[in-house]
Amino acid sequence: MADKQLIKVLLVEDNPEIARLIRDMLRRSPTCTFEVTHHAALKPALEYAASNPIDIVVADLTLPDSEGFPTFFSIRSTVPNVPIIILTGIDDEEMAVQAVREGAQDYLVKSQIDMHILLRAVQYAIERHRIEAALRRATVELEERVNERTAELSLANKELEREIEERIQAQTQLVQAAKMEVIGRLASGVAHEVRNPLAIILQAKEYLEGLVDTKNEEVSSTLQSMTRALTRADTIINGLLDFSRISQLEIKPHSVNELVENSLMLVKHQCDRAHVTVEKKFGESLPPVKADKVKIEQVLVNLLINAIDAMPDGGVIRIETSVSDTVSGKAVCVEIHDSGSGIPQENLAKVFDPFFTTKRVKHGTGLGLSIVKSIMEMHHGSIDIRNRTEGGATVTLLFPL
């Protein structure tokens, strides 16, 4: 009978007659060889189960040392992966049903057991338990695969989001570059066309000045208004021309500290008038940067004047220069901090747009920062403006080395 399946049964039954009956029935199985270990009490049964391989437990729940559900729970917690069949009397069938609900594979009413029912119950219990275990493993495996796939999808999704973000950025840069080019071309054309009529108006105004009574207050004030309007229009046009010509750079190595010092000298008068003091913290032995001296001084003067304008009641401008590490390598860094009121959040994203200005009343053209940014980009550098948590704003210029 070498090809008969061997099944190890732990039989827990305090009634020796029933135990013997079950042993006999199992021994007569034509298909399986049952190796039955019998214990009449729970404790020795659990001790055996804990240290011996078994394929199935057949147990009465009413034992000398344990009664009812605790018997079932003790067995199940000792051998959680072994199927259990409950033996029950006709009186406590309800408890057996309950045990099945809690995880027992089956129950047999002792008075109704015959060999056929017993063998079938044992074999089915083992098979069902094996299928359930396989199902549980498959479920776990499936969950793992779902989790893995979800993680992969999440990663792919993030990658896709990054690509979309990069494309949007590239597109925005292209649109911005195209906008700048159009504005540049327009600027140069418009500047020429507008400066000619301005020239006529200026000459005509001067001619009329010689004919009218300039001592009359109203006449004098009208002429002054005309002069102011002409100057303002000319300033805007000059800004446009600057804007259309920023591509003509004369690049040479320069000391950033010297460029900053030169620019500070140019705005000294404005600083004094606005009660703005300047603090300098210059890095020593900074490497020279490749720059157009005039253009970078134009950038620095523009930024310094913005900082002064941001502090109408006086304040402090602190300028720091250093070498800093950026994502694309080392760069010489110029930081201009002011102690003004900062830039309203809604304006931060727009400050570099051509014609964006908050100084309309003071005749700002709105070209300053857009030109500054374009000049920095021509130097392959960058500009960043952000508000300081302690108040005021910081402008950071980076010149790649």
Positions touching another protein (CB under 8 A) are 191-193, 195-196, 198-204, 206-207, 210, 230, 234, 237-238, 241-242
Distances (CA, A) of 161 to 15, 148, 153: 71, 20, 12
Distance CA 335, CA 279 (A): 12
Distance CA 330, CA 401 (A): 6
Residue 178 Cβ, how far from another protein at the closest point, in Å? Answer: 25
Nearest to 392 by CA among 318, 300, 283: 318
CB closer to another protein out of 188 and 394: 188
CA 169 to chain centre: 17
Residue 191 Cβ, how far from another protein at the closest point, in Å? Answer: 7
Is residue 272 within 8 Å of 278, Cβ to Cβ?
Answer: no
Residue 165 Cβ, how far from another protein at the closest point, in Å? Answer: 41
Residue 354 Cβ, how far from another protein at the closest point, in Å? Answer: 18
Q: Which residue has the tokens 């950026």?
A: 326
Residue 241 Cβ, how far from another protein at the closest point, in Å? Answer: 5
Distance CA 152, CA 141 (A): 16
Distance CA 323, CA 334 (A): 9
CB closer to another protein out of 52 and 203: 203
Residue 179 Cβ, how far from another protein at the closest point, in Å? Answer: 23
Strands across the sheet with 315-326, in order?
276-281, 315-326, 329-338, 393-400, 382-387
Residue 372 Cβ, how far from another protein at the closest point, in Å? Answer: 17
CB closer to another protein out of 21 and 201: 201
CB closer to another protein out of 95 and 240: 240
Is residue 246 within 8 Å of 371, Cβ to Cβ?
Answer: yes
CB closer to another protein out of 135 and 204: 204
Nearest to 334 by CA among 379, 274, 268: 379
CB closer to another protein out of 148 and 206: 206
CB closer to another protein out of 182 and 204: 204
Residue 389 Cβ, how far from another protein at the closest point, in Å? Answer: 39
CB closer to another protein out of 18 and 198: 198
Residue 207 Cβ, how far from another protein at the closest point, in Å? Answer: 5
Residue 393 Cβ, how far from another protein at the closest point, in Å? Answer: 28
Query: Both tokens of residue 114?
Result: 């015959």
Is residue 57 within 8 Å of 12, Cβ to Cβ?
Answer: yes
Nearest to 65 by CA among 96, 50, 88, 44: 44
Alpha helix stretches (DSSP H) within 2-114:
16-27, 42-51, 69-78, 93-101
Distance CA 210, CA 106 (A): 121
CB closer to another protein out of 53 and 210: 210
Looking at residue 351, the DSSP 8-state letter turns out to be T
CB closer to another protein out of 9 and 240: 240
How long is the chain?
401
End-to-end CA distance of the chain: 88
